[in-house]
Amino acid sequence: MSMQQTAPGIQGVENLRALDKSCYIIQDNNQIIINNEGCDDVSKITAYVPPMIAEQLGDPAFKAFYGVKHAYMTGAMANGISSEEMVIALGQQNILASFGAGGLDLKRVELAIKKIQQALPNGPYVFNFIHNPSEPAIEQGTIDLYIKYGVNVIEAAAFFSLTPSLVYYRAKGLSQDAQSNIQITNKIIGKVSRREVATVFMQPAPQDILNKLVAQGLLTQSEAQLAMQVPMADDITVEADSGGHTDNRPLISLLPSVIALRDDIQTQRQYPVEVRVGAGGGVGTPDAALACFMMGAAYVVTGSVNQSCVEAGASEHTRKLLAQAGMADVVMAPASDMFERGIKLQVLKKGTLFPMRAQKLYDLYTNYNGLDDIPADELEKVEKQILQNSVDTIWQQTVEFFQKRDPSIIEKAQNNPKKKMALVFRWYLGLSSRWSNAGVAGREFDYQIWSGPAMGAFNDWIASTYLNDYKNRHVVDVAEHLMYGAAYQHRIQVLKSQGLYLPAQYQRYVPSAVF
């Protein structure tokens, strides 16, 4: 079907998709003609769009710094949902991806490092580093692994303030070249959703923490001194309403605020290279990606949409549920890693009872001082409907788990009934995400599936395309379509600014085939 048939009076709309070529809009005999060659009679040219390819979007310094094709990265989803396969597939196409190391034991993280480094000896790749206040030994052990294996880019998430392990990673290996320029070995992408946390990442490491690390012999005096001259992070990802840990902040308010904060701190500090600010949370369509770039984002980060892809470390049942999700099919639920603090994360509610059951456990935790204080009938419901086992059995399994991971946690709980109750309830919250990833039969209604509204927006966008079938979703293909689509949408907006409004079917980029 020709453009003339579908849109009378307009010819050559398909030329808008040739993003590497200029577009000339010519008005001739009441016809609008769009071509890539121009016109001998310049008086007939009513609008013009220069080349605008996906690689032009965002900050070129971000791409040069990490050696990547696009100002785009896939953020980490813990428990290996952002899998080795995902990181490798994207990395082989020079697209940045973060491995979801959070929640995994150190042996599993070590295996992932070896596998990814073997496939991507020259990068690019990132490893997630999630704040773990309930298990500081795991946090430090993870950093030790990263330094041991030369993992030189990490994505630091869920931090309220800086910890010694994070400062140690940043400062380790700092040096100066012959021109006295500071050389940073370990790069950090800080993920934040609050200005006060962004401030911490944009400032140098605190002197008191550095002094302690020097006293412990972990840093040299030179490394500590240099650390006080560079920001804690090279890049800051402003995380808005996202899956998993989130403050549900609106990106349209948060991103400009953090960029302005960065500018203020840069004016004060005069860093040789300013901290770049990217955007994530809610990025599930080309329009959303373009909006981020137009607000000044150096790069964009996707999350939820990648979990429904073939390479994700999630079960087929989970990926199918995500592919059916709408924007309103998400809800906040208690988080396993920060259960006692009342911290919540955003999960899918359609097709699972996890959000309600997790909230029930948290209500019991807040209302009672220990398992023995819970009324017998209430405890019986918990055992039958949620835990599907006795609390004594669950406690024994919890003891066995932490004896291998961090025995001090069990020691603290032995004479603390409320701590013991929290650990028993965290058994359910912790395993529910693993059941989802592994596709454990019989536990489908207990699957904890991290997701934000971007998942629903993505599903709406590709509903009429081959990507509607989750089995066709691949992370590289999704990334390319999002970035190409953002560049296309930019071209449409340029035309609108010159007074040319195309029919609705041409104003949105829709994937038609594998990129």
pLDDT tens-digit readout, 95-108 = 999 999 998 989 99
- Say yes or no: 122 and 74 in one domain: yes
Among 242-251, 324-333, 417-426, 460-469, whose mean pLDDT is lowest? Answer: 242-251
Average pLDDT along the chain? 94
Q: Is 179 within the bounds of a domain?
A: yes
Per-residue confidence (pLDDT) for residue 197, from 0 to 100? 96
For residue 201, give its domain range.
65-279
Same domain, 157 and 28: no
Q: Which of 65-74, 337-346, 398-407 has the highest mean pLDDT?
A: 65-74
- Three-class secondary structure assignment of 391-426: HHHHHHHHHHHHHHHCHHHHHHHHCCHHHHHHHHHH
The whole-angstrom distance between residue 461's C-alpha and the CA centroid of its chain comes to 20
Half-sphere exposure of residue 33: CA atoms within 13 angstroms, side-chain side: 13
Ramachandran quadrant class, 123 (left: phi over 0; alpha: psi -120 to 50; beta: rest): left
Model confidence band, residue 348 (pLDDT cutoffs 50, 70, 90): very high
Total domains, the chain? 3
Residues 147, 76 share a domain: yes
Pair (174, 233) in one structural domain: yes
Q: Which of 458, 512, 337, 478 is nearest to 409 (CA)?
A: 337
CB contact at 8 A, 71 and 298: yes
Q: Which of 147, 145, 140, 95 is nearest to 120 (CA)?
A: 95
User: Highest-confidence range of 52-66, 122-136, 237-251, 493-507, by mean pLDDT?
Assistant: 52-66
Answer yes or no: is 306 within a domain. no
Domain final residue pick, 429, 446, 463: 446
The per-residue pLDDT for 10 is: 85
Reported as a pLDDT band with limits 50, 70 and 90, residue 464 is very high
Residue 454 CA to chain centroid, in angstroms?
A: 12
Give the pLDDT of residue 6.
Answer: 41
Task: Report H helices in 13-102.
Answer: 60-66, 84-91
Are 69 and 10 in a shared domain?
no
Q: Report residue 194: phi and psi, to 5°.
A: -140, 145
* 90 is a domain residue: yes
Percentage of the chain lying above the pLDDT 70 cut: 98
Q: Say whether both 28 and 74 belong to one domain.
A: no
> What does R_g of the chain's alpha carbons equal in angstroms?
25
In sequence order, what E strands does 288-390 have? 300-302, 330-334, 344-348
Summarize pLDDT for 254-272 with one digit per residue, the tens.
Answer: 999 999 999 999 999 999 9
Per-residue CA distances from 156 to 102, 163, 179, 232 (Å): 10, 11, 30, 10
Q: Which of 401, 422, 446 is the last residue of a domain?
A: 446
Domain boundary among 220, 252, 279: 279
- Rounded to an integer, what distance in angstroms lies between the CA atom of residue 399 and that of residue 408? 11
Asked if the structure places residue 476 within a domain, the reply is no
Integer Cα distance of 450 and 436 in angstroms: 10
Please report, rounded to a whole number, the percentage of residues in the chain having pLDDT higher than 90.
Answer: 85
**Looking at the predicted structure, is the pLDDT value of residue 41 above 90?**
no
pTM, rounded to two decimals: 0.93
Q: Quick one: pLDDT at residue 38?
A: 86
Q: In angstroms, rounded to a whole number, what is the distance separating the alpha carbons of residues 243 and 111?
A: 26
Closest CA relative to residue 348, chosen from 363, 330, 325: 330
The larger pLDDT score, comparing residue 404 to residue 86, is at: 86
Q: Is residue 136 part of a domain?
A: yes
List, for residues 386-434, the tens digit of each pLDDT value.
Answer: 999 999 999 999 999 988 878 888 988 988 999 999 999 999 999 999 9
**C-alpha separations of 215 from 161, 174, 209, 260 in Å:** 21, 17, 10, 37
Residue 430, C-beta contacts closer than 8 angstroms, at least 6 positions apart: 103, 336
What the block records as the tokens of 308 is 């429904």
- Whether residue 484 lies inside any domain: the answer is no
The answer to whether residue 84 sits within a structural domain is yes
- What would the pLDDT profile of 107-153 be if each residue is shown by its tens digit? 999 999 999 999 999 999 999 999 987 778 889 999 999 999 999 99
For residues 90 and 207, membership in a common domain is answered with yes
Is position 358 within any domain? Answer: yes
Residues 347 and 427 in one domain: yes
* Whole-angstrom distance, CA of residue 324 vs CA of residue 308: 10
- Give the separation between CA 162 and CA 282, rounded to whole angstroms: 26
- Averaged pLDDT for residues 344-358: 96
- Residues 47 and 69 occupy one common structural domain: no
* 2: confidence class by pLDDT, cuts 50, 70, 90: very low
